[in-house]
Amino acid sequence: MLTPNLSYANLKESYLFYHIAQKTGAYLEEHPGTHLYRMGIGDVSLPLASAVIAALHAAVDDQGTKESFHGYMPECGAPFLRETIAEYYKKRGMNLSPDEVFVSSGASDELGDILDLFDRSNTALIMEPAYPAYVDANIMAGRTIRHLPSGPYNHFLPLPDESIDADLIYLCSPNNPTGAAYNREQLGQWVAWANERGAVILFDAAYEAFIEEDLPHSIFEIPGAQTCAIEICSLSKTAGFTGTRLGYTVIPKALERSGLSLNAMWVRNRTTKTNGISYILQRGGAAVFTEEGQRQIHENIRIYKENAKVLMAALDEAGIRYWGGKNAPYIWIQCPGGMDSWAFFDRLLNEIQVVGTPGEGFGACGEGFFRFSTFGDPADTREAAARLLKLLK
Amino acid sequence: MLTPNLSYANLKESYLFYHIAQKTGAYLEEHPGTHLYRMGIGDVSLPLASAVIAALHAAVDDQGTKESFHGYMPECGAPFLRETIAEYYKKRGMNLSPDEVFVSSGASDELGDILDLFDRSNTALIMEPAYPAYVDANIMAGRTIRHLPSGPYNHFLPLPDESIDADLIYLCSPNNPTGAAYNREQLGQWVAWANERGAVILFDAAYEAFIEEDLPHSIFEIPGAQTCAIEICSLSKTAGFTGTRLGYTVIPKALERSGLSLNAMWVRNRTTKTNGISYILQRGGAAVFTEEGQRQIHENIRIYKENAKVLMAALDEAGIRYWGGKNAPYIWIQCPGGMDSWAFFDRLLNEIQVVGTPGEGFGACGEGFFRFSTFGDPADTREAAARLLKLLK
């Protein structure tokens, strides 16, 4: 008799964003034709850069003739893309070999898959509030989870101390959902902590392209990170690949535990459990890193940053306290009047048709807070800001 | 201190096809410029169908303008593709609901990921010789593996009996690597066996499009399969998507164990651990199932079947015993003169520059056998057949 993975019974009934999609779907069924101002899931609204579109078309053409057709790709990524990404790190002062870079289907897939490298007995420490998949993927694996709470008292940037122990730690900076970003000295404390204990840092750098201030874009800017960190990145937010799917993961060759190279283990995992990432998508991804591609994606990021400014101005005027919005595409607000976050969600949806994300969905210490994404359509964002101001002032 | 997943230490050093790629790479380094006749990994050689290319181009265009841009896709698959695939089953007499169909990145990814649904205490029974990822993915999970050997004595189609017990069983029909295919009565025996014991069948139907005779294309043609089977399919071989990546998985709603719906668990898994499959690729995949797409892919399959005939004629003339080649894109030969399969691999590579796959790589009972893929270039296949005949006659 087959026994299913009973750890699934320990999960909440549905995943946060799926639950929000169902709630907004139900609202639209009751109010057909209503326009919603979506600042919830963090999906982008601008199309792919024209350099990426051109590269995708060229790659589709390659797949249409026998001479240029590509079958199975190397499982860890096409050499052209692994080299391009290693070069992207090099330009920013980090020396990585292309075979320390793995191409992925995106950060969300990778955050789940990478856990296969670790024994289930390891304790996972999760900086919270957090992207809920960190917690759920570890519950599915039956792993013990410790929560590392944050709040206004530590500027949503918890730091290690002697009392904190774990084998695996999730750090996301710039942070989803709070928008807070660690500086070099703070990340240095985490790297020292991990190296002392033999812990491994899973560093989610999905929002690095939104950093404006002099803050680290990668954990590998910190000396010592090569022996304790894995970095997981995505083109979803950087280049609007949410529906196109592509990401990359860096596992340094210097990262070993119990005498096993995690880089070699991941090669074994990928060569066994995948047949590589679509040739077409990898060509599109490579175009992001060209001079033209970089110029175009930064123009899109500038538009999203204008959205952030519009929202922040409304929040300032309404006297609402918030974090983020500067080095990250998220604005994290304190719910007005001590309202709980799902009640605030319902109020915004029902009264002004604005969709955000309740802080409680990111962990218990997110209760009383609320996340706005700045990836919306600029006209929608201006209207949502005006509606928010009218409602909250 | 983090403990890595020590089950990786129980794996062979490298994955079969990765090992073959390294061996052929080394040969080419010693003999630069040599043309190899590749009938090894089973990669296709014909380009994508023009209906697919047109759909991919249109989808890329959609991603280039704000009005038609697609961000995050539904995690279990785009409704248009889930409906198209359910319709494909319906045309063949099987009633599935679109939400029993999940879109995947391909069968190899899915065969690894799906194991997350099952407790590690389950025993996996693997029909052998077998696609090596079945074994390796279960070794990585620390699961107990039982081998169900096959050979000429049972026509490479093992059947259940009272002595056979397991919680999870892998069946692949038409089979990789042997090309053998079960008939309805035989699959019915497995379905009855699984339902009696509460076991779950993982049915790999990657080669269904190659069936010529009146044999089941899907486990769901067998009454009772809805309560004991998951079917994993791929467009890799059906439509040449090896380097494009797309597949699908069927999990019936009637499939429950310990009171948990495996369909609902997979929804929870996908909504947590992925952000869906590329919009572009799903549009390309949908084109495979149009009338034009079906006509074009069957024309490609016809060309591969011509390859099979050319190879079989040479083997007949050389007096080599073989299986498959008819309902499957693989020909499984008995190594001549009792040669072991890696020695035969080296001989073919060194003497006639033909690359095949040693049977031993598919499990111990594959020793003494050798697999040829029929997906090669037709001119290459003719030359390889002539070289084989000259060497072996």
In this prediction, residue B42 has a pLDDT band, given cuts at 50, 70 and 90, of confident
Rounded distance, CA A112 to CA A139, Å? Answer: 11
Which DSSP string corresponds to B287-342?
A: HHTSHHHHHHHHHHHHHHHHHHHHHHHHHHHHT--EEESSSSSEEEEEPGGG--HH
Q: Which helix (H) or strand (E) holds A30?
A: helix A16-30
Question: Across the interface, do B18 and A44 touch by the CB < 8 Å criterion?
Answer: no
Question: Across the interface, do B257 and A1 touch by the CB < 8 Å criterion?
Answer: yes
Pairing of strands A229-234, A200-204: parallel
Q: Which residue among A118, A140, A278 places its CB closest to the CB of B281?
A: A278
Domain B7-38+292-392 sits in CATH at 3.90.1150.10
**Cis status of the peptide bond prior to A177, with omega within 30 of 0:** yes
Q: Which helix (H) or strand (E) holds B137?
A: helix B132-140
pLDDT surpasses 80 at A182 = yes
Question: Nearest residue on chain A to B9, judged by CA atoms?
Answer: A260
Pick from B17, B200, B278, B377 the residue to mutate for testing the A interface (most A CBs within 10 Å): B278
pLDDT in tens, B82-112: 999 999 999 999 999 999 999 999 999 999 8
pLDDT in tens, A22-70: 899 999 999 999 999 999 877 899 999 999 999 999 999 999 999 999 9
3-state secondary structure of B34: coil
In this prediction, residue A18 has a pLDDT band, given cuts at 50, 70 and 90, of confident
CB contact at 8 A, A197 and A209 = no
Rounded distance, CA B247 to CA B17, Å? Answer: 20
pLDDT at B31: 96
Question: Across the interface, do A4 and B274 touch by the CB < 8 Å criterion?
Answer: no
Q: Which helix (H) or strand (E) holds B145?
A: strand B144-149
Q: What is the mean pLDDT of residues A340-357?
A: 97
pLDDT in tens, A109-129: 999 899 999 999 999 999 999
pLDDT at B41: 76
3-state secondary structure of B128: strand
Residue with tokens 């997110």: A366
Q: Which residue among A14, A15, A244 places its CB closest to the CB of B280?
A: A244
pLDDT surpasses 90 at A13 = no
Q: Which amino acid is at B233?
A: C
Paired residues of B260 in beta bridges: B257
Beta strands per DSSP E along chain A: 37-38, 101-104, 123-128, 144-149, 168-172, 200-204, 229-234, 247-250, 256-257, 260-261, 322-324, 330-334, 354-355, 357-358, 369-373
What are the domain boundaries of chain A? 7-38+294-392, 51-291
CATH T-level topology, domain B50-290: Aspartate Aminotransferase; domain 2 (3.40.640)
Rounded distance, CA B85 to CA A173, Å? Answer: 40
> How many CA atoms lie within 13 Å of B72's alpha carbon, on the beta-carbon side?
19
pLDDT in tens, B268-297: 999 999 999 999 999 999 999 999 999 999
pTM: 0.96
Q: Which helix (H) or strand (E) holds B250?
A: strand B247-250
pLDDT in tens, A368-379: 999 999 999 999
pLDDT at A365: 95
What ipTM goes with this model?
A: 0.96
Pick from B245, B251, B357 the residue to mutate for testing the A interface (most A CBs within 10 Å): B245
- Residue A240's region, left for phi above 0, alpha for psi from -120 to 50, else beta, is left
Please state the φ and ψ torsions of residue B345, each to the nearest 5 degrees. Answer: -55, -50
Pick from B241, B272, B377 the residue to mutate for testing the A interface (most A CBs within 10 Å): B272
pLDDT at B320: 97
What are the CA-CA distances from residue B108 to residues A141, A271, B247 (Å)?
Answer: 21, 10, 9
Residues of B in contact with A108 (CB under 8 A): 273-275
pLDDT surpasses 90 at A82 = yes
Residues above pLDDT 90, as percent of chain B: 95
- B-proximal residues of A, 94-153, CB under 8 Å: 105-106, 108-109, 111-113, 116-119, 121-122, 132-133, 136-137, 140
Residues 6+ apart with CB under 8 A from A178: A129, A150, A156, A323, A324, A330, A332, A369
Q: What is the mean pLDDT of residues A226-251?
A: 97
The verdict on B275 touching A (C-beta cutoff 8 Å) is: yes
pLDDT at A189: 98
The CATH architecture annotation of domain A7-38+294-392 reads: Alpha-Beta Complex (3.90)
Paired residues of A200 in beta bridges: A168
Rounded distance, CA B105 to CA B285, Å? Answer: 11
CATH T-level topology, domain A51-291: Aspartate Aminotransferase; domain 2 (3.40.640)
Classify residue A195 by burial, with Cβ atoms within 10 Å: 0-12, 13-18, 19+: middle
What letter would DSSP give residue A26?
H
B307, two tokens: 């390859």
Question: Nearest residue on chain A to B131, judged by CA atoms?
Answer: A272
Question: Across the interface, do B280 and A281 touch by the CB < 8 Å criterion?
Answer: yes
pLDDT averaged over chain B? 96
CB contact at 8 A, B41 and B357 = yes
Other beta carbons within 10 Å of B33? 5
pLDDT surpasses 80 at B241 = yes
Q: Which residue among B4, B8, B277 places its CB closest to the CB of A245?
A: B277
Which DSSP string corresponds to B206-249?
A: TTGGG--SS--SSGGGSTTGGGTEEEEEESTTTSS-TTT--EEE
3-state secondary structure of A233: strand
